[in-house]
Structure 1
C-alpha cells in the first residue's frame, strides 16, 4: 500500500504537516513560508513543480477506491488567493475535476493568479465565462450552472459538490468517497418548508409543471443524473426560467427539484421535505446559524465566522465541509484543520483509523430516495 511522506512546513506563524509525495512518513527541513500575497502566489505558480511542492498537493490517487470514484467540484471565488489555494490543496486529487468561477468583480491580478494555479493541473480550469455575482439575484445560481455545464464534458465523475473559497473540508478525500458511496446515488440537499420565506415566490405566479416550492441552500452534493436533469431536462429549464422572477433563486432551484419526487430524478427525496438534525440531516455543509455558541462572537449576516475556539465543535461534526472562514481572522483555525485532515489521512493509510459509514447509509434521504432504472 502506498503511504505519504509528511513534510514539516512553517506557514505564516503556525507549524503544519504537509504531504510531500509517495514514500514513508518522515520529517524534513522547513520549507519557505507560503505567502498570502497574490503576486507571490502567481510567481510561485509559474513554476508548477515548485508550487505543487510548496503547497503540498497530492498528485496520486492513493487508493483504488478513490481512483474509481471521481468527484466534480465547482468553487466560486472572488478574493483571498492563499485561502483558495489552501482549499484546493486540501481537496485535490488527480482523479477529480475542479471548475473555478472567478467573480467578474475580481481584479485582473486575482484572475491571473487563479489562472496560473489552474494551469498547473490537468483537471483544474476556470469557467468558460464569468458572472458579476450579486446577492439575492439569479447571478448567485448562474455560476453553478456554468460550472455544471463545463464539468459535464468530463465523463467519469459520479458526484458534484459546490463550494466557495471560504470553506474547508472536515473529511479526507477517502472519507468523502466512502460517504458518497454510502449515499448510493442519493442527493444531499437541504429542504425547508415550515420556515420558508414564501413571499419571495409570490410575485412569480404559478410554477411550471406543478412543481412544489421548497427552500434550501444552494450548496449540494448530488449524483451525475441530477446534474444531467438540471442541464438537459425541458422541465428543469422551464423551472429555471421561472426562478429568474423570484428573490434569491439559488435557494429555490436545486431544493425544489430534489424534493418533487414526481419528476423522477434519481436520488431525489420521497419523504416530507423538512431538514432536521435528527430525521433529515443536511450533511453537505456545516454552518453555525446560531444553533451553537460562536466562540469569538463574530457573526456576519447571521453566520458565525469560525475560529480556533470553534475547533472542538468542528471536530465532532458529521458534515463534509464547514463554512465560513476568513483568511486573516481564521488563519490559525484553518492551519489546525489542515493538520487534522492530514493526521486523519496519515492514520488511514497506517491502518490506525477506521471510518464507519453506517450513519450515512441510514439517513432518511438515503432510505427514501427515488430510484430509477438506468438504461444504456
Structure 2
C-alpha cells in the first residue's frame, strides 16, 4: 500500500475506544507499515480551520462590559482567598472536607443549555478579563510559544485550560479525536474560529486509542500543522485536556528562553520492566529509552522530526509501530541518543561511566515538564484516587502544587473533571491571580532557578566540550 494513502486510511478507519485501564492493546494490524513520511504529504488543497478575515474582538482591556465582567471576575477573586487557605494549610480539616465534597465548578459554562457555543462577541464579553488580566510583556512578545492540545471530550474543561494559556502572540493547535461526538467537534471549531491568526484545528483527525500508535500520530499531526502555519513560535508544548499550568506564560517564556534551544523531556526511565514496548533492535543502532509523554520541544527539534530528520523518524516510527505506548518512547529515543545530534537533545553518552553522576540525576531529579505522581493503587495517592497508575489531583494535593511544584514543573497532571472540582477551580484561580499580579515585579521566584539547574545538567550544549 502506498505510504501516502496510509494516513488517509487511518483517518477514516474508525475503531471503538478501548477501556483506559487496559494497559496492553493491539495496534492496527490492518496496516503493514506506518511511517512519518505519510504525515508530511503535500497537497494543494491543504486546509486549516477557516479563520476570519475581519478581526474578532479578542481582548480589549479598556472595554466596558461592567455587568458581565464583574460577575465573572468575582467568581475567581472571591474564590481565591478560600483557595489560599487550602494550600497554606491554614484551614480546619472540616473545611478541607467541605471543599472536597463540593460538586460544582465555580466558573459557569459558556455553552447554552443545548450545548451550543455562543457568538464570538458574546463569548468575549463573558471571558474578556479572564483571558488577559494583565498586559503581555515584551519578553513574552519576543518569545512566542506553540501549544498542541489533544482533546476528545468535555468542552468546559478544554475551554478553561485554553483560557489559562492563551496569549495573542502564541500559536495553538487542537487535535480533536476523530471519534469525538459531533457536538464537541463543533464546540471546539467555533472556539477556534473566534481567534484570528493563531489558533487552528487540525484538519487531519485520527481516532486516538489509549496505548496505540494513534496517540503519537495525533501529536505529530499538530506538530506538522503548526510548522506549516507559522515559523514564529520557539517551543512546542504538548497538552491533554486534563491538566493546568503551574507556570504563567511569562514564567514559561523566561524559563524556556534560558534553555537556549534545549528540549524538556522527562526521563529517561528504566525499560527493564517494559518488554512489550520495543523490538529486539532499533534502527541505526539506537539505544532504547522511554519517558513520560510530555515535552517542550524547540522549533528546530520539531522541524527535524517532521522534515530534516525524516529518514530517521520514518524508520523509527515504522519499527515501533507494532508495539505499544509509542509516544513514551519515540521522543525519548531521539532526545537521549547523542549520536543523532537531535536539535536540543543530549550531547553526551549518558551510559558513559565518566558521566555516572549526571546519569543518576536523570532518575532522581525529574520530572520537569509535569507534576504527576505514579501509583500502584489509590491508597498511594494524596487524593485517594488514581487513573492508569497516575494519581488524580484533589483538594489535598494543592499545598504540594503551589508550595513545591510551582517553578519546578510547568503543568499539573492529572485532573478528572468531576472529581473534587474545587482542586481544578483553585489552581485556575491561582493562575489567574498570578498573571494579574506578576507584572508588578516581573521577577521569577527562586524555585525557577532550580528548574533551570536541573535541566542544565541534562542538556550540555557544546558538542565535544562537555564539562560537569
Q: TM-score range by the shorter chain?
A: 0.7 to 0.9
In the alignment, the residues of structure 2 paired with residue 4 and residue 295 of structure 1 have an alpha-carbon distance, to the nearest angstrom, of 40
Q: Does 1:107 align with 2:181?
A: yes
Runs of 5+ consecutive residues of structure 1 not aligned to the other structure: 19-31
> Residue in 1 aligned with 2:392?
305
Q: How big is the alpha-carbon RMSD for the aligned residues of Structure 1 and Structure 2?
A: 2.9
Matched residue of 2:149: which SS? strand
1:360 to 451, 454, 457: 451
CA contact (8 A) 1:76 1:164 kept: yes
> Residue in 2 aligned with 1:22?
none
Greater C-alpha radius of gyration: 2
> Residue in 2 aligned with 1:35?
109
CA contact (8 A) 2:270 2:289 kept: no
> Residue in 1 aligned with 2:226?
151
Give the stretch that moved more between structures: 305-314 or 273-282. Answer: 273-282
> Cα gap change, 1:177/1:271 in structure 2, threshold over 3 Å: closer, same or farther?
farther
Q: Displacement of 1:351 after TM fit?
A: 2.2
1:320 to 410, 421, 426: 410
Q: Which string of whole-angstrom CA distances, capped at 9 and with x for unpartnered residues, describes residues 343-376 of structure 1?
A: 212221122864344223322545633457xxxx
> Residue in 1 aligned with 2:370?
285
1:125 to 200, 214, 222: 200
Figure out how many residues of one structure are paired with residues of the other and give that number: 352
1:152-171 alignment, distance < 5 Å: 152-153=227-228, 154-171=230-247
> Residue in 1 aligned with 2:260?
184
1:334-345 alignment, distance < 5 Å: 334-345=424-435
Matched residue of 1:267: which SS? coil
Q: Displacement of 1:159 after TM fit?
A: 0.4
TM-score (norm 1): 0.85
Higher fraction of strand: 1
> Residue in 2 aligned with 1:206?
281
Matched residue of 1:184: which SS? coil
CA contact (8 A) 2:301 2:344 kept: yes
In the alignment, the residues of structure 1 paired with residue 428 and residue 301 of structure 2 have an alpha-carbon distance, to the nearest angstrom, of 31
CA contact (8 A) 1:230 1:237 kept: no
> Residue in 2 aligned with 1:23?
none
CA contact (8 A) 1:161 1:222 kept: yes
Q: Displacement of 1:124 after TM fit?
A: 1.2
Q: Displacement of 1:324 after TM fit?
A: 0.8
Matched residue of 1:332: which SS? helix
In the alignment, the residues of structure 2 paired with residue 271 and residue 364 of structure 1 have an alpha-carbon distance, to the nearest angstrom, of 16
1:206-225 alignment, distance < 5 Å: 206-225=281-300
